[in-house]
Structure 1
Amino acid sequence: MAGGFSRADVQEWLEQSGWFPGRDVTEKVAEFIDDAVRQSEEQGFPAPPIAAAVEFLRTYGLLELRHPRDGDKTLDVNPTGGYEGDFAEIDELARDMGSGLFRVGYDLPEGGIILMDENGRFIYHHWSGTYLMGADFHEALANWLTGDFQELS
């Protein structure tokens, strides 16, 4: 894994942040998913939830993951975190990629938006560009911890 963060390191970090095997926050996260969908409709770019994102949020939703080496950096697994007008950008990106996208989180202080595509890949959308974070959550987290993203063209 990137930057010395192994899959086991990421797993340990997740557990220290409140995740545990069998975690299921379906009921709690449902209102956040509904709110994100409502926001997208209000902005004029409907973004229905995709199956991969709903499954991911069921397990990891509402976690606040504080960077273990930089306590000022956090990754919040919450689909409602974004900014005004971001659904227009997400819609354009989805069309360019040819895949549905759904917002599943954001990071601070950078303000990047974490998206998932229909194949379960994690995409980082930031003012500086759009990047592939990873093919799965563990890879995406390891790359987030080191800032090692692959630019999407």
Structure 2
Amino acid sequence: MTARFSRAAEAVLRDAGWTPGRDVSTATAEAIRRTEQRVGAGGARLRSFAAAVAALNEFGGLAVVPKEPGVDHVPQPFAFDPLLAPVCAETLADVATVLGVPLYPLGVEGDLAALLAIDERGRVFSIDYTGEWFLGATTDAAIETLVTGRRPPRLRDDGTWPDPAGTDEPPGRSAR
């Protein structure tokens, strides 16, 4: 076990094919190229950035199936593959406007029920038909949230979210 992940998170990541130092940069480059070729309504397109590339280089192609019952809810399977995400440029642009930073698709959660997205600061979000959710300040933290079934805070209309520690101070937004 590494000190990087909880025992439960590391176990399901390893079951999915992850190992420390994993690098699928060739496959990531192709997935990003194909994702960026998609054109949304009105001509909207996605552009990758360093945080998205880094996350996909390590976790791209993994389909993770949590095994534990979950702390707050039953965790759903999730996959790191931007090509599984529906054409989502408009949705991500709308959320990015509220957050003040660009977003890029990382993959999906559940039975394609939610879009996993990362911002250029490395923060990860889940976007579904009910709203937008802050999963973690890093990909590792987001994986822990997804695997453990902890309820993530919902984004407010101003792009902030309640601090999971309970102080109701948002953990921060990027400067615009």
Identify the TM-score tier after normalising by the shorter chain: 0.7 to 0.9
Look up the match of 1:111.
113
Which consecutive residues of structure 2, in runs of 5 or more, have no partner in the other structure?
70-74, 157-176
Name the CA distance, whole Å, in 2 between partners of 1:152 and 1:131.
Answer: 6
By relative contact order (CA 8 Å, sep 6+), the higher-ranking structure is 1
Count of aligned pairs = 146
**2:149 is equivalent to residue 150 of structure 1:** no
- Is the deviation greater in 74-83 or in 119-128? 74-83
Name the CA shift for 1:134/1:150 in 2 (closer, same or farther; >3 Å): same
* Aligned 1:92-111 pairs, distance under 5 A: 92-109=94-111, 111=113
Q: Which amino acid aligns with 1:118?
A: E
Look up the match of 1:15.
14
Look up the match of 2:127.
125
* Aligned 1:41-80 pairs, distance under 5 A: 41-43=39-41, 44-69=43-68, 73-80=76-83
Which runs of 4 or more aligned residues in structure 1 lie more than 2 Å from their structure 2 counterparts after TM superposition? 6-9
Instruction: Give 1:42 shift.
Output: 4.5
Within the candidate set 85, 88, 91, 1:89 is matched to 91
Instruction: Give 1:147 shift.
Output: 4.6
Superposed CA deviations along residues 60-100 of structure 1, whole A, max 9, x for unmatched, are 10001012147x9421100112235x221111111111101
More strand by share: 1
More helix by share: 1
User: If the length of structure 1 is used for normalisation, what is the TM-score?
Assistant: 0.86
Name the CA distance, whole Å, in 2 between partners of 1:29 and 1:118.
Answer: 17
Secondary structure (helix, strand or coil) at the match of 1:80 reads: helix
User: If the length of structure 2 is used for normalisation, what is the TM-score?
Assistant: 0.75
Superposed CA deviations along residues 109-128 of structure 1, whole A, max 9, x for unmatched, are 25100000011010100001
Q: What is the aligned-residue identity percentage?
A: 23
Instruction: Give 1:15 shift.
Output: 1.6
For the pair shown, the structure with the greater C-alpha radius of gyration is 2
Which consecutive residues of structure 1, in runs of 5 or more, have no partner in the other structure?
1-5
